[in-house]
Amino acid sequence: MKKQAIRSFTILGLLLVMSAVSVRAQSQRNEVTKIPFSFIVGDKTLPAGAYRIEPNSRNYDKVWLVQSSDGDASALFSTIPTRSFETQEKSKLVFRKYGDQYFLSQVWTAGGNTGRELLIPRLEHVLAKSKIDRETVVLAIGSQSRN
């Protein structure tokens, strides 16, 4: 009887910890991030502004949604999983920049070593083959001012 009670409390404790981690990850994904430049997601250019970036469905993280906080600009995009050797301290967005054009390329969530990588759009393929220098720009999610 005592073993069953201990086992039940252990399982309950594990469930509570897992729920807390899940809620924390979802709340970080729902944070607003100020993106100070226009950027390209797939074939769509979005203006500078405050955005939320999150999976389009709670149970499926292949398709994501980027949406301005005022709801005027949005895009759906497909992703593939990517890994890092290091645990991410902060949630972040990674952009590739060619000249004055920025392409959203990766989304990382704090506390893990996996992220989501966007498929490379046709225009970026063309620019990558050109002589234009490429830079990487990283923005921490939620660290910018909120609207």
The pLDDT-based confidence of 61 (bands split at 50, 70, 90) is confident
Q: pLDDT tens-digit profile of 102-139?
A: 999 999 999 999 999 999 999 999 999 998 999 999 99
Evaluate whether residue 70 is within a structural domain. yes
pLDDT on residue 67: 96
Cα angle 94-116-114, degrees, rounded to a multiple of 5 = 100
pLDDT on residue 20: 38
Evaluate whether residue 37 is within a structural domain. yes
Give the bridge partners for 92, in sequence order: 108, 140
Evaluate whether residue 20 is within a structural domain. no
SS3 (DSSP) at 63? strand
Parent domain of 89: 31-140
Look up residue 119 and give its DSSP letter.
P
Does 143 score more than 80 pLDDT? Answer: no
Q: How many domains is the chain partitioned into structurally? A: 1
Determine contact, residues 16/8, Cβ cutoff 8 Å: no
Evaluate whether residue 90 is within a structural domain. yes
Q: pLDDT tens-digit profile of 77-97?
A: 999 999 999 999 999 999 999
Q: pLDDT tens-digit profile of 11-60?
A: 544 444 343 334 444 444 468 899 999 999 999 999 999 999 999 988 88
What is the DSSP annotation of 32-91? EEEE-S-EEETTEEE-SEEEEEEEEETTEEEEEEEEETTSS-EEEEEEEEEE-SS--SS-
Euclidean distance between CA atoms 74 and 146, whole angstroms? 17
